Structure 1
Amino acid sequence: MKRIYLVMLAMLFTAAAFAQIEAPVKWSYAAKKISATEAVVLVKATIEPGWHIYSQNLKDGGPVATSFTFTPAKNYTAMGKPAEPKAITKYEDSFKMNVSYFENSVVFQQKVKLKGAGATTVKGKVEYMTCNDRKCLPPDEVEFSVSVK
């Protein structure tokens, strides 16, 4: 009887080892100062082959659009909405509509107005949804912090 429990326990651990969380998108962040009072925060998504993330500019009724929230701070102000490159736009049968998305990698650029001399840290979060040709993962949020020197 003890042996049966040990075998079942070993099978459970083996199954758990193969059930890994999928994370097809990796995020990286940087900033560059463009003047004494302005900087650009760069938010890059590196996307595994076969997967894609969606544009910020989607109609209602489809996938979750990528969105950014910048934490309010006294030493910077986000200027407008993050810029994004031209997206791929195609009809997706799963949403019964045209959607815009990015494959491989994409860099979003957010201009910020600096309100003082010295280093500043821009903080925020990005919410996104990723899909491939078989499935979509639930929307995810990633917090970030970028130093502007």
Structure 2
Amino acid sequence: MKKIVLMITAVIFVVAGASAQIHKPVKWTVASKKLNSKEAVVFIKATIQNGWHIYSQNVKDGGPIPTSFQFAQAADYALTGKTAEPKSKVKHEEVFKMDVGYFTNEVIFQQKVSLKKGTATVKGTVEWQACDASQCLPPDEYSFAVTIK
């Protein structure tokens, strides 16, 4: 009986330890707003846990991994310009020997699209890296789709 209890306890600790290693400090949501019959804006929002940050799209080579967007090509819409971001906070990262832009708490990126038909489904992915004061997680990716009516 003791061996069974000991084995069950060991399994619980292993499972709990494995699940504790999965940390997702950034949650993504997507929405859209139709501006008129030919234009819309896609809003891609990152909600970032307290103490964590993600980097701007505008990080120079040799720095941390910037946030980046890839949009699927489709017959019902076309991208208008680049994905816009608000003004980022900037700090000097000694490990990279450069100033880098970053966001905390939440950030909303915006992508304008021109509509070729009345409705469109915009699909894409965002890649980012989340860091806190002591660590950076490996780059992560989120796939999204939003229908504009």
Provide the secondary structure at the position in 2 that maps to 1:62: coil
TM-score (norm. length: structure 2): 0.92
Alignment of 1:77-92 (within 5 A): 77-92=78-93
Alpha-carbon distance, 1:8 to partner: 4.6
Match of 1:145, as an amino acid?
A: A
Alpha-carbon distance, 1:120 to partner: 1.4
Alpha-carbon distance, 1:9 to partner: 5.3
- Structure 1, unaligned runs of 5 or more: none
Alpha-carbon distance, 1:16 to partner: 2.6
- Identity between Structure 1 and Structure 2 (%): 52
- Structure 2, unaligned runs of 5 or more: none
Provide the secondary structure at the position in 2 that maps to 1:13: helix
Quick check: 1:43 aligned with 2:28?
no
Match of 1:43, as an amino acid?
A: I
Cα RMSD (Å)? 1.5
Match of 1:140, as an amino acid?
A: D
**Paired residue for 1:133?**
133
**Paired residue for 1:144?**
144
**Paired residue for 1:59?**
60
| Aligned counterparts of 2:131 and 2:110: Cα–Cα separation in 1 | 23
| Aligned counterparts of 2:37 and 2:104: Cα–Cα separation in 1 | 34
Write the deviation string for residues 24-62 of structure 1: whole angstroms up to 9, x where unpaired.
000011000111100000000000000000000000111
Alpha-carbon distance, 1:4 to partner: 4.6
Match of 1:41, as an amino acid?
A: V
Which structure 1 residue ranges, 4+ long, deviate > 3 Å from structure 2?
Answer: 2-6
TM-score (norm. length: structure 1): 0.92
| Aligned counterparts of 1:52 and 1:103: Cα–Cα separation in 2 | 5
Alpha-carbon distance, 1:144 to partner: 0.1
Q: State the number of aligned residues.
A: 147
Provide the secondary structure at the position in 1 that maps to 2:127: strand
